A and B are shown apart, each in its own frame.
Chain A
Amino acid sequence: MSPILRIEGIVKTYRGVTALDGVTLEVAGGSITGLIGPNGSGKTTLFDCISGFQRRDAGQAWLSPGGPTAVELTSLPAVRVARAGVRRTFQQLKVFAGLSVRDNLLTAAQSGPGYSAFEEVLRVPQVRRHERLMRERAAAMLEEFALAAHAEQLAGTLSYGQKKLLELAMALMTDPKVLLLDEPVAGVNPTLIEALKQHLVRVRDRGVTLLIVEHNLKLVFDLCERIFVLDGGRLLTSGPPDEVAHDPRVLEAYLGAGARREALLDG
C-alpha cells in the first residue's frame, strides 16, 4: 500500500521543553495504524501539529504524498486540514452539547463544499441539495451507530459511551481520507469497546485510513496492522503488533526496566 500520510521530522517545543524531537513516520493508505507510547511521549502533540491545532517548529506532514493531490498539512489552519479530508477526535471527548444528536451530525458535515454564509442563509439550490444529501447521510449514521432513538435529544444528555459513538459518527460524515482518533475507547465499558472495535474495522473497510492513539494496548495490538511507538518525543520503534509487543524497549518505556510483558496487556 502506498502511504496516505507521511510525517517528516516534526519538531515541537513548548517554552524550551521538547515535546516532539523530529518524528518521522508513514501511514499506509487503508490501514489501521497505532500510535502508542507512555504519557507525555508526544502522541497528542503530534495529532495537534498534523491537524492544525498547534504550529510545529520544524518538519512537514504530507497527505497523499507524491501524488497529484498531495497537501502539506502542518502549514494549514485547522479548518483547512479538516476540509482537506483529515478529521480528528479529541482526548477530551467533545460534542456540541447544546445541539441535538442529529444537528451534531449535520454540523459535522458543514465542511463539505464551502458555501458562503449568504448562500447558506438564502438557501440557494446547491445548498438545499447538499443539505438534503447530508440529512440522508445523518439518518444512515444514526442507524449505523445505534443512535436513531436519540436523534432529537440534546447531545449533552447522552451517556458517555453514546457520546463516543456520536463523536466517531460525526468524524465520518464527510468521508475523510484519514481519521486521527485520540483514545477512542478511553473510559468505555468492555461491551462497548467490542462494538467500537467493529465500527473501526468497518470504517477501515470503507476506505478510511485510521491512525489511533490509545492506551488500551490490547485493542491496539488486535486492530492495528502497524504500530509506531513514541517515547520522549522520538520514535522508539515501529513494526507489526507481534514485533512491537515483544520489543523489550517498549516494555521498558511503558513500565520501567524488568517488567513482564503480560503486565502491558492487562493495564
Chain B
Amino acid sequence: MNRAQAIPMVALLALALPLVAGSPYVLHVAIMTGFYVILAQSLNLVLGYGGLLSLATPAFFGMGAYVAAILALRFGWDSAATFALAALAGVATGIAIGFPSLRVSRHSFVIVTLSATLLLQLVANNWEDLTRGSLGLTNLPPPRFLGVAVRERGEWYVLSVVAAAAVVLATHLVVASRFGRALVATRENEQLALAAGINVFRTRLFAFSLSGAFAGLAGALYAHFITYIDPGVFGFSVSETLLIMVILGGSGTLWGPVGGAVVFTILPEVLRLTPEIRSLVYGIILLVIVLYRPAGLATWLGRRRTAGAAPPA
C-alpha cells in the first residue's frame, strides 16, 4: 500500500473510531470537531485563498445559529428548510458586510469586519423580543430533516462528518476552478489581477459570501447540537480559535485547516488532564508550531502547497 492509498485508509479508520470506541464525551468532541472543520474552511476561503484577514466569521456563524434557532422554535419548520435559510443568512450577512468593507484597504477591512460582528452581537443582546437577549434561546429541538430526526450522539456524529466532508468538497471544487485561480490572483497581486481583467471586488465578494454560507451552516448545526445559544456566538473568541486553526493548520491549503481544526479542537480537551498548567502547555505548543512550522502543519505532509505563498500578515 503506497502513501496515496494509506492516507485515505487511515483517515477512514480515524473517522470510524469515535463510533466504535466512543464514550459520549469522545463523541461530543468528535462532533464539535466537524463543526470546526466547517468554520475553519469558511475562514480559509477568505484568509487563505483570498488573503483577506476577516474577523466576520462569527457574524456568519451567529446569524446562522439565530436564524435556525428562531425558525425552529417559533415555527417548527423542517431543518432542511431552516438549515438552508441559515446558510442563506450567512450569504446575506457576507454581502451586507462585504459590500462596504471589500472596497476599503486591507487594514480597514479587518476593522470593518470586526465592528460589524460586534454590532450584530449588540443587536442579539438587545433585541429581546426576538432573541431573548443575554438569556439566550433554549431548548432547541433535535433537527428533523424531511421528517428524520437526529437525536443520538452517533447520528449527530454522522451528520457532522457528512456536513464537514461536503464543505471540504465544496471548497475543493471552488479553489480548483477558474474562479479559485482568480481568487488567489487577487491575493497575490491586486493591480495585476485588475490589469488581467479580473473583477477583484466581485471575486472577493463571492468568496466572502460563500464563507458566510459555510459558517451559517455551522451555526445551525451548533445551535441544534448544544440546544442553546446566546449572543456569545458572535464573540471574538470564535475568530481567535479559527485563526489558530487556519494559520497553524496551513492557510491557503485544502487539508491544512482541516488538520488544524482537528488538532486544536482535541488538544484543549486532552490538556484538561492537567488543569493547572493547561494554558501554559497550550501556549508552548502554539509557540513551537509557529517557530518550526510557520506555514502550518500541512507542510509536514511535504506536499506542494495548493496555492503557493503564505497569506499576507
Contact = CB atoms under 8 A, between A and B. Distances in A.
Interface of A: 51-53, 78-79, 82-83, 87-90, 94-99, 103, 106-108, 110-111, 115, 117, 120-121, 123, 127, 131, 154, 156, 170, 174
A115 B181 CA distance: 14
Nearest to A127: B178
Interface string B174-207: 1001111110110111011111111110110010
The secondary-structure label for the interface of chain B is helix
B196 A156 contact: no
Contacts of B178: 106, 110, 115, 120, 127, 131
Nearest to B198: A110
A103 B180 CA distance: 11
24 contacts: A51-B195, A52-B194, A79-B199, A82-B195, A83-B197, A87-B195, A90-B191, A90-B195, A95-B192, A96-B192, A98-B188, A98-B307, A99-B184, A99-B185, A107-B182, A107-B185, A107-B193, A107-B198, A117-B179, A117-B203, A117-B206, A120-B179, A121-B179, A131-B178
A79 B194 contact: yes
Given A96-B192, A99-B308, A120-B179, 8 more contacts: A82-B196, A82-B197, A97-B309, A99-B184, A103-B181, A110-B178, A154-B308, A156-B309
Contacts of B309: 97-98, 154, 156
B64 to A, nearest CB: 21
A96 B206 contact: no
A94 B197 contact: no
A99 B305 CA distance: 10
Q: Which of B185, B197, B202 gathers most chain A CB within 10 Å?
A: B197
Nearest to A92: B191
Given A97-B308, A99-B184, A121-B177, A110 B196 contact: yes
Given A53-B191, A117-B203, A99 B181 contact: yes
Nearest to B194: A78
B202 A117 contact: yes
Q: Which of B182, B200, B308 gathers most chain A CB within 10 Å?
A: B308
A170 B197 CA distance: 12
B173 interface: yes
Contacts of A120: 177-179, 182
Given A110-B197, A120-B178, A121-B174, A94 B189 contact: yes
A79 B307 contact: no
B182 A110 contact: yes
Q: Which of A117, A127, A131 gathers most chain B CB within 10 Å?
A: A117
A79 B180 CA distance: 18
A107 B195 contact: no
A126 to B, nearest CB: 11
B76 to A, nearest CB: 32
B254 to A, nearest CB: 15
